[in-house]
Amino acid sequence: MIGGGSWATAIIKMLSDNITEKELFWWMRNTEAIEHIKKYRHNPNYLSSVEIRIPEANISDQIREMIASADYVVLNVPAAFLKETLKELGPKDLEGKKIVSAIKGIVPDENQIIGEFLNEKFGVPLENILVISGPCHAEEVALEKLSYLTIASVSTVHAEEFAGMLNTRYIRTNVSDDIFGTEYAAVLKNIYAVASGICHGVGYGDNFQAVLISNAIREIDRFVNAVHPISRDIKESAYLGDLLVTAYSQFSRNRTFGNMIGKGYTVKSAQLEMNMIAEGYYAVNCMHVINKKYKVDMPISRAVYAILYEKHSPVIEMKLLSEQLN
Ligand SMILES: NC(=O)C1=CN([C@@H]2O[C@H](COP(=O)(O)OP(=O)(O)OC[C@H]3O[C@@H](n4cnc5c(N)ncnc54)[C@H](OP(=O)(O)O)[C@@H]3O)[C@@H](O)[C@H]2O)C=CC1
Ligand SMILES: O=C(CO)COP(=O)(O)O
């Protein structure tokens, strides 16, 4: 597991509670947190109620050492920090390994989803790339609330093998071969959750929220079909389900961030107050660039971009947006 945040801690819990035999190795950058986990068996900063049952020697800030004997490498840092995290690694380090992206974001500057980035920059073959998606907040995993995940890969064998390592009393899994669609949908729903938070912050109610989200799923559908036109049901939980949970849940980082923006916080002060990362903030900038190629009609994404990057007023931008929705 590469990453020490909430989602990494939640997936470590699933993998530990699952009964398939396996050995876990965990890399994180924060050496104080590593010492704390070794001593007290809990991550001090994220999901601190979760008990960690990994041998001390298998938790380290030495990334090459941690991945050396792994068959599956789960990337689980916010996309904005992925390049920095992998900086000392090259294609040889990942050769022959299955790389699982638990990240719901786009690599800044490269403007690539994680699968494309791994394939292009590290030469990881598509059949060795997996994506964890679906509506699932780390906080609910810690509480063992029933949750469903979708494991996507062009290799059904790999997807099923990895899914088999996550299933527990509270986790159900299904597999998909739509790696591009699930990744893009997971990125986009973060932008719409930011929009949902902004609307709430400026004073719109549940009625408007429902219209916003019905338009958001159509935006996702249009975009993923433009990028990767295959037959898919956008109402499945990896697409619509993830949009709904992120747009409505009290646990959503993206919605919380948007809500603060709607209430008048600056981007900096909202980020400082959160201590967690809202991927939608970075993603909307990358999507703005990516969509110059595809030219998909995305009024909600455009409005969020205007508010966050062009400093437009949330009140005025949402008013203008409301006139385009139906
Ligand atoms: N949380 C959730 O419920 C879910 C999250 N995801 C996805 O998982 C991925 C990881 O997010 P999540 O676990 O939620 O993150 P959190 O918001 O819980 O934690 C933030 C993480 O980012 C790291 N970080 C912060 N600043 C920097 C920096 N400047 N350089 C390097 N690392 C930094 C933190 O490391 P440190 O502690 O050392 O500061 C920490 O690991 C994201 O793509 C997210 O969309 C997907 C599904 C569910
Ligand atoms: O992807 C998620 C839930 O499926 C997490 O969303 P947030 O980052 O907004 O909390």
Within this chain, do residues 69 and 199 fall inside the same structural domain, yes or no?
A: no
Within this chain, do residues 137 and 81 fall inside the same structural domain, yes or no?
A: yes
Q: Is the pTM of this model over 0.90?
A: yes
**Alpha carbons 274 and 268: distance in angstroms, whole number:** 10
Neighbours of 223 (CB within 10 A): 23
**Which residue reads 């601190």 in tokens?**
48
pLDDT tens-place string over residues 129-160: 999 999 999 999 999 999 999 999 999 999 99
Neighbours of 108 (CB within 10 A): 17
**Alpha carbons 281 and 54: distance in angstroms, whole number:** 33
Write out the residue range of the structural domain in which residue 304 sits: 181-322
**Alpha carbons 45 and 210: distance in angstroms, whole number:** 34
* 72-101 average pLDDT score: 98
Say yes or no: CB of residue 193 within 6 Å of ligand 2: yes
Is residue 41 marked as binding? no
Within this chain, do residues 291 and 160 fall inside the same structural domain, yes or no?
A: no
DSSP state of 263: T
* The pair of three-digit structure tokens given for residue 144, joined into one six-digit string: 């063992």
pLDDT at 192: 98
Task: List, in order, residues 6 or more apart from 94 with CB less than 8 Å away.
Answer: 67, 73, 118, 122, 123, 124
Within this chain, do residues 315 and 252 fall inside the same structural domain, yes or no?
A: yes
Q: Tell how many helices (H) and how many strands (E) occur in the chain.
A: 16, 9
Within this chain, do residues 27 and 173 fall inside the same structural domain, yes or no?
A: yes
User: Does 137 fall in a domain?
Assistant: yes
C-alpha separations of 234 from 111, 149, 220, 224 in Å: 23, 15, 8, 9
What ipTM was reported for this prediction? 0.99
**Torsion of Cα atoms, 95 then 185 then 111 then 194, to 10°:** -130
Within this chain, do residues 32 and 161 fall inside the same structural domain, yes or no?
A: yes
Ligand 1, atom 36, lies closest to the CA of 30
pLDDT tens-place string over residues 89-115: 999 999 999 999 999 999 999 999 999
Question: Which residue, 177, 197, 230, sits at the end of a domain?
Answer: 177
pLDDT tens-place string over residues 12-56: 999 999 999 999 999 999 999 999 999 999 999 999 999 999 999
Pocket test for ligand 1, best of 63, 77, 140, 281 (most atoms within 8 A of CB): 77
User: Does 276 fall in a domain?
Assistant: yes
Within this chain, do residues 263 and 194 fall inside the same structural domain, yes or no?
A: yes
CATH number of the domain residue 275 falls in: 1.10.1040.10
Within this chain, do residues 147 and 256 fall inside the same structural domain, yes or no?
A: no
**Alpha carbons 5 and 17: distance in angstroms, whole number:** 18
Task: List, in order, residues 6 or more apart from 181 with CB less than 8 Å away.
Answer: 224, 227, 228, 230, 232, 239
**Does residue 275 carry a pLDDT above 90?**
no
Say yes or no: CB of residue 129 within 6 Å of ligand 1: no
* 187-205 average pLDDT score: 98
Is residue 172 marked as binding? no
What is the Å distance from ligand 2's center to 96 Cα?
30
What is the Å distance from ligand 2's center to 134 Cα?
9
- Quote the percentage of the chain above a pLDDT of 70: 100
**Does residue 193 carry a pLDDT above 90?**
yes
* Helix 179-202 × helix 253-262 angle, to 10°: 30
Strands 106-107 and 112-113: antiparallel
What is the position in ligand 2's atom list of the atom closest to the CA of 254? 9
* 207-235 average pLDDT score: 98
User: Does 1 fall in a domain?
Assistant: no
**Does residue 120 carry a pLDDT above 90?**
yes
Is residue 253 marked as binding? yes
Within this chain, do residues 166 and 209 fall inside the same structural domain, yes or no?
A: no
The SS3 call for residue 252 is coil
The H-or-E segment that residue 75 falls in is strand 72-75
Catalytic residues: 189
Number of domains in the chain: 2
Within this chain, do residues 187 and 134 fall inside the same structural domain, yes or no?
A: no
Say yes or no: CB of residue 135 within 6 Å of ligand 2: yes
**Alpha carbons 4 and 103: distance in angstroms, whole number:** 13
* The pair of three-digit structure tokens given for residue 120, joined into one six-digit string: 């292009």
Question: Which residue, 127, 154, 177, sits at the end of a domain?
Answer: 177
The SS3 call for residue 31 is helix
pLDDT at 204: 98
Instruction: Name the average pLDDT for the chain.
Output: 98
